[in-house]
Amino acid sequence: MQRQVTNSTLNVYKLASTSATAARRLDATRRHFSGSSSRMQAVNNMTVFGGGLMGAGIAQVASQHGIKVTLCDLTDQALATSKTMMQKSLSRIANKKHPDSKDEQQAYISSVFDNVTLTTDPALAVKDADLVIEAIVENIKVKKELFRMLDEECSAKTIFASNTSSLSISEIASATSQARRAKFGGVHFFNPVPQMKLVEVIRTEETSDETFQSLLDVCKRMQKHAVSCKDTPGFIVNRLLVPYMFESVRMLERGDATAEDIDAAMKLGAGYPMGPFELIDFVGLDTAQHILDGWRQKVESGQADSLSSDLVAPSALLSQKVKEGKLGRKSGEGFYKYN
Ligand code: CAA
Ligand code: NAD
């Protein structure tokens, strides 16, 4: 009995000290994100690198809200695909805005495209940029190479931001000069960008108050709801959503249930708009694989205490599909087939 009392007393002390630590951390987090909104830099010209699922959406929404946008991709063919994606999305929006007039629908779509310049020339793309948003492949080496080059091309005032799903913003920013790092943050948009209201704005230890406020302001102008997160693996949404997606793949690998039944279960039993396999197909299996590989490298090099090695173990099924070019909706097949 005596021992039991001592243990439970100890547990109460432990709980109290854990909750005191949590409260101190929360206070520090609030201080990290506080700052004056009077200190910000206006963004009139935005350049987006990567015109895929995300970059085309970011360029479109910025342009819809009066920001001049230059969209840069590697090839004219990639840019033509970006334009088709924007056109499809804008048609849906225009139909709702002007249900009774085809002319007004067309005028709206043209007014949005008037704000967008497409180019494959990175130097030309950033000539007047107040803000560069990078939305290229989820690979740390490739992202660092791009930012190293952009740091030399861009004026000192240009703010840099990455739309990475899972990589460290500080690590990407380390490819740039010390001065630029104060002007570097994360803006994590969600797919499909025209429809999803959220953006996670990431402030690193080096991001200046002015940069952070400018990024929040751009999100507000794009009519997005911004939340702030420290530079942690997956930030808020993907730290919760990605383990769920990978666990679904492992469930399928174990043969516990079919993809169709797992999807039906999560839609009808948990109220999710898409099941996990519909969602991975929507996000892109290549992007999911990059997230898994990037996190595994972090765990293996001891840089991610908050991720477990079970979570980041390779998935044979996912790797096989990526190898076969089954990347999800964008390639016509992933876990499901599409027209
Ligand atoms: N452009 C413009 N409007 C669009 C659109 C687009 N690309 N996609 C959908 N919409 C609009 C439709 O016009 C429709 O509008 P109304 O309700 O006003 O008519 C509305 O969205 C619903 O669309 P649909 O009826 O076609 O289809 P739906 O009801 O099945 O919704 C969805 C589609 C919005 C994609 C919904 O299925 C959904 O929310 N899915 C989950 C998406 C999600 O979880 N995204 C996050 C992915 S993770 C991520 O992004 C982070 C990462 O780093 C990987
Ligand atoms: P995607 O494969 O659809 O598009 C990437 C585009 O970048 C391609 O068009 C490619 O040609 C282009 N590109 C590659 N290197 C380039 C370079 N050096 N310069 C210019 N363009 C280049 O990929 P995506 O799904 O749009 O993802 C882009 C980024 O956004 C990734 O970091 C991803 O993790 C992140 N993200 C993706 C999602 C999603 O659901 N797919 C959601 C949020 C964030």
Say what the pLDDT of residue 324 is: 98
Residues 153, 285, single domain; the answer is: no
Name the residue with the closest Cα to ligand 2, atom 30.
Answer: 135
**Using a 6 Å CB cutoff, which residues line ligand 1?**
89, 92-93, 96, 165, 190-192, 194-196, 237-238, 241, 273-274, 279, 283
Tell me, in angstroms, the distance from the centre of ligand 2 to residue 30's CA: 31
Say what the pLDDT of residue 290 is: 96
Residues 246, 148, single domain; the answer is: no
Dist CA 107 CA 187 (whole Å): 30
**pLDDT per residue as tens digits for the range 159-216:** 999 999 999 999 999 999 999 999 999 999 999 999 999 999 999 999 999 999 999 9
Residues 94, 206, single domain; the answer is: yes
Say what the pLDDT of residue 4 is: 59
Tell me, in angstroms, the distance from the centre of ligand 2 to residue 27's CA: 35
Query: Which CATH number belongs to the domain containing residue 320 in this structure?
Result: 1.10.1040.10
**What is the number of structural domains in the chain?**
2
Residues 133, 94, single domain; the answer is: yes
Q: Of the candidates 115, 123, 145, 138, which has an alpha carbon nearest to the alpha carbon of residue 72?
A: 123
Ligand 2 site, residue 56, Cβ cutoff 6 A: no
Residues 239-255, mean pLDDT to the nearest whole number: 97
Name the residue with the closest Cα to ligand 2, atom 1.
Answer: 52
Ligand 2 site, residue 137, Cβ cutoff 6 A: yes
Name the residue with the closest Cα to ligand 1, atom 36.
Answer: 273
Report if residue 38 sits inside a domain. Answer: no
Range of the domain at 317: 238-331
Say what the pLDDT of residue 1 is: 46
Report if residue 23 sits inside a domain. Answer: no
Global pTM value:
0.94
Report the percentage of the chain scoring pLDDT > 70: 95
**pLDDT per residue as tens digits for the range 84-126:** 999 999 999 999 999 999 999 999 999 999 999 999 999 999 9
Q: Of the candidates 30, 32, 39, 31, which has an alpha carbon nearest to the alpha carbon of residue 213?
A: 39
- Please give the backbone phi and psi of residue 241, each rounded to the nearest 5 degrees, phi first: -80, -40
Say what the pLDDT of residue 13 is: 67
Report if residue 33 sits inside a domain. Answer: no
**pLDDT per residue as tens digits for the range 119-129:** 999 999 999 99
Residues 90, 182, single domain; the answer is: yes
Which residue carries 């570097």 as its tokens? 184
Task: List residues with catalytic annotation.
Answer: 165, 188, 200, 238
Helix or strand run (H / E) with residue 256: none
Residues 229-240, mean pLDDT to the nearest whole number: 97
Say what the pLDDT of residue 109 is: 98
Confidence tier at 11 by pLDDT (50, 70, 90): confident
Report the percentage of the chain scoring pLDDT > 90: 86
Residues 98, 137, single domain; the answer is: yes
Residues 158, 269, single domain; the answer is: no
Dist CA 161 CA 154 (whole Å): 13
